[in-house]
Amino acid sequence: MEAYRSILDRWSVAYSHTDVPTRYGSVHVLISGPDDGPAVLLFHAASMSATSWAPNVGALVEAGLRIFAMDHIGEAGMSVLDSVDSFPKTPEQIGGLYTEVADALGVGSAFTIGASAGGHAAMRFALSNPGRVRASVLLGPMGIRPLGPRAVWKMMMASMFPSDGRIERTAKWALGESPAVADPYGSWFATVLGAVASPPRVGRPVALTREELGSLGMPVLLVLGDQDNLVGNARRAAHRARSIRDLRVEVLPSSHLIGVEQADAANRLITGFLTDKEV
């Protein structure tokens, strides 16, 4: 919690927060932006928490958007599971969880932005709510391609046997070595992995089928990193994503946390894309 609040100090705009009761426990949500602004649901990367949107919230709010940044339940953050044995395990349950949260927040139609595993969650939310998502931005998302066995092995070993050396190597492999990521998210990632006594209670992202990708009816901006070890080859990811009917693809010089490492470029892409979809 000390690490969480330290990063939250970098939140560049005013915010409030609330805890939303769900069937699994309470989901913590950070809220910023004008009351009458178009709603944007933010789905963070695995192990990163809602605070990982700190480099982006200023630009989103300046664009007139009202953001709801959620801590994924079962991970490090301020959401709280009622039971470690009950958490959203399947893609349908992940979509259902965020449907509960959006309903409780009074968010009807919304934009979505998802990073990494949050991209998978955003797509599952859209599949659970046809017509509810006005447009979606996916930043290095899981779910476009299957997560490779090397990535699964590395993350599992770092969680189960969190030595300082293994955590450092895993963080550099997964997140890259950009100074923008290392401070403060490298230390956050190391703190989370080093503090976990057992694996996080989260469902693993499952790649969408081509039929499921084709069922995403909203406009999608897919932003890929050209050095992303988790998503893998950007060209192959973009090719598989072509099943999405209304798709725009951008590739930035970045490792996995594109919205952090390339915040300025990502913010321009995101705000331009979403404000264009308001009409």
What is the mean predicted confidence (pLDDT) over 21-34? 97
DSSP string of 120-187, one letter each residue: HHHHHHHHHSTTTEEEEEEES-TTSSPPPHHHHHHHHHHHHS--HHHHHHHHHHHH-S-HHHIIIIIH
Which tens digit of pLDDT belongs to each residue from 85-130? 899 999 999 999 999 999 999 999 999 999 999 999 999 999 999 9
Give the DSSP letter of residue 44. P
pLDDT band at 2 (very low <50, low <70, confident <90, very high): confident
**Residue 17, token pair as written in the block:** 């927060």
pLDDT the model gives residue 172 = 77
**Residue 85, token pair as written in the block:** 């044995």
Per-residue pLDDT at 251 exceeds 80: yes
pLDDT band at 191 (very low <50, low <70, confident <90, very high): confident
* Cis-peptide into 184, omega within 30 deg: yes
What is the mean predicted confidence (pLDDT) over 184-203? 76
pLDDT the model gives residue 154 = 64
Which tens digit of pLDDT belongs to each residue from 139-164? 999 999 876 666 666 666 666 666 77
pLDDT the model gives residue 162 = 64
* CATH code of the domain occupying 2-147+202-276: 3.40.50.1820
pLDDT the model gives residue 101 = 98
- The predicted model scores a pTM of 0.92
Q: Which long-range contacts (CB under 8 A, 24 or more apart) does 12-16 make?
A: 12/54, 12/57, 12/58, 13/57, 13/58, 13/61, 15/57
Q: Mean pLDDT over all residues of the chain?
A: 90
Measured in Å, how far apart are the chain's first and last C-alpha atoms?
A: 40
CA distance 200 to 157: 13
Give the DSSP letter of residue 52. G
The bridge status of strand 220-225 relative to strand 133-139 is parallel
